[in-house]
Amino acid sequence: MKSQISALMDGDVALEDAEYLYTTLKSGGETTQAWADYHLIGDAMRGNPVFNPDFTERLMASLDQEPILLVPAVKRKQALLKNSKLWSVAASVSAVAFVGWVVLQQQVQNGIDDDATPMEIAQSLPADYWLAHQSQASNNSAYYIQPANYSE
Amino acid sequence: MKRFLLAFLLATPIVVVHAESEDPWLVLKKAAQAAHDLSYAGVFIYQSGENVKSVQITHTNSGQGEYARVVVLDGTPREMLSQGSDVVIFSPKNEKVIMEKRRAHNLFPAVLPVDIEHLKASYQARIGGTERVAGRDGRVVFLDPRDSLRYAYKFWADREYGLLLKSLMLNEQKQMLEKMAFSQVNMLEDQGMDWFHPNVDHSKHYILEEANAQPAQESSGWTVGALPAGYRKVEQVTRLVPGKTAPVTQVIFTDGLASVSLFIEPLSKGIRPKIGQTSKGATNFYANVSKGHQILVVGEVPAATVAQIGSAVSFSSK
């Protein structure tokens, strides 16, 4: 699953052929858990401190399973750049940020999140509404040239 | 006599400058009209924040109405064709090309409303010097807001044809929010209509997207109270927003240049309500929850304006 998301990100799989990724992610189970983990990583990268209590433990456990590197720092850096697994994680995070909202919508509708608590609008820009504004407001050159859904 | 001549020559430039001081509103009115009436072709730069795009425009009006083709030259090859007030946008998405039908927007260089009088209540205009843009002499006109509820603009209008050559939107700190400027523009004479067609990619599927906004009746249950000065309601629609099952009401307000959308919808179970304010570039967002409804305001206006519109919504008790 993870490698498939990476492949999507690397362009090895066309977006058209990746609909199963949405379906799989939405179906729940292990992949949903994996997605939740990635989502947390994404949040952390964006500076939103919303860690699950057990997230750090699980992250440390998975890091423990990594082999210990006994190479000079410079070489290690190069090795890291070549390390496909690192890239695959990075790509997965980006890929999940990309497909993530679909699943998030699904989860939210399933009531997994606490749906009564209001969230700060700054946490997630309402891109759909922004686009709706651009498309309807007549004084908006941006809609033709740089619509909201293309800007990120 | 010589002395008199010398004095005359010295005085002349001042006299000329004085004679040149035009009515800034007339310059803007002429610019608004020229964008629709003239036939021209050129390339302009659109810049908003970090995003910069080159855009090619061809616009003709030979007395039988306006035709225009606009092609985005950088990045995704979006394209727009318009005839009168009917607009079709072509935007490639993966292996498809989505065609959207819209009504006319005020696209550069036609950014000024033809009815310029509306602007006078909210902005004051002041004439500037002459600056060269796209190889042509442009007359500078400053359009400064009368209050802090809208942004400032600076326009360059072609001294010969009146057409806008450049347009800037600036915030209170005089920082650029949006720029549109011709890098090259030519007047067209007999151009025919051969240019008026989209660049069709035969390997792709073309899909016509139905308009997802419908004109709406006056809403029941809520009203928008005192609007920010100079803003008026221009349209109300109900529309579908991705991820929402129920239609959302959208009300559009404008002061003639800036526009703001107000979205109102009943809170639905399972969707977290949004609150607070945020901004991205020139766009400000305001969200609040009131009497079981989500209120969301979006506009290319200062934060105070979206907040004021959002706070003006009141629900009648049932």
Predicted confidence at residue A99, as pLDDT, reads 55
Nearest to B60 by CA among B174, B194, B257: B194
pLDDT of residue A145: 77
Domains located in chain B, CATH noted: 17-206 (2.50.20.10), 213-315 (3.30.200.100)
Q: Report pLDDT for A117.
A: 83
B79: nearest CA partner in chain A = A144
Mean pLDDT of chain B: 88
- In angstroms, rounded to a whole number, what is the distance separating the alpha carbons of residues B273 and B292? 10
Interface test with A, best of B93, B232, B274 (most A CBs within 10 A): B274
Q: B19 pairs with which residues across the strands?
A: none
Tell me what pLDDT residue A110 has: 47
Which residue in B76, B89, B274 is closest to A118 by CB distance?
A: B274
Tokens 């002429």 belong to residue: B30
Average pLDDT over every residue of B92-106:
84
* Residue A53 scores a pLDDT above 60: no
pLDDT at A144: 73
CA distances from B75 to B54, B79, B91, B135, B292 (A): 9, 12, 11, 26, 42
This complex has an ipTM of 0.85
Chain A residue nearest residue B261, CA to CA: A133
| Digit-coded pLDDT (tens) for B265-298 | 988 877 889 999 999 888 999 999 998 899 999 9
**Residues B162-182, mean pLDDT to the nearest whole number:** 95
CB contact under 8 A, A115 and B46: no
Identify the pLDDT of residue A48: 44
Higher per-residue pLDDT: B141 or B282: B141
3-state secondary structure of B75: coil
The residue among B298 and B317 whose pLDDT is bigger is: B298
> pLDDT above 70 covers what percent of chain B?
92
Confidence of residue A50 (pLDDT cuts 50, 70, 90): very low
DSSP labels, B96-142: EEEEEEEEPP--TT--S-S-GGGGGGTEEEEEEEEEEETTEEEEEEE
Secondary element (H or E) of residue B315: strand B313-315
pLDDT (0 to 100) of residue B102: 80
For chain A, what is the mean pLDDT?
57
Structure tokens at A129: 């509404």
Looking at residue A150, its pLDDT comes to: 47
Q: How many helices (H) and strands (E) does chain B have?
A: 3, 21
- The domain spans of chain A are 2-117, 119-152
Tokens 């992949």 locate to A31
B68-82 confidence digits (pLDDT tens): 999 999 988 899 999
Query: Highest-confidence range of A8-12, A60-64, A65-69, B156-160, by mean pLDDT?
Result: B156-160
Contact, B259 vs A139, CB < 8 A? yes
The stretch B141-158 carries a mean pLDDT of 97
- Strand segments (E) across chain A: 119-120
- What the block records as the tokens of B253 is 């307000």
Mean pLDDT of B287-314: 94
User: Does B94 contact A15 at a Cβ distance shorter than 8 Å?
Assistant: yes
Q: Using 50, 70 and 90 to split pLDDT, how confident is the model at A139?
A: low
Q: What is the mean pLDDT of residues B186-201?
A: 88
Cα B8 from Cα A35, distance rounded (Å) = 81
Distance between CA atoms of A140 and B258, rounded to whole angstroms? 8
Q: Which residues of B188-269 form beta strands (DSSP E)?
A: 205-209, 213-215, 222-224, 232-239, 248-254, 259-266
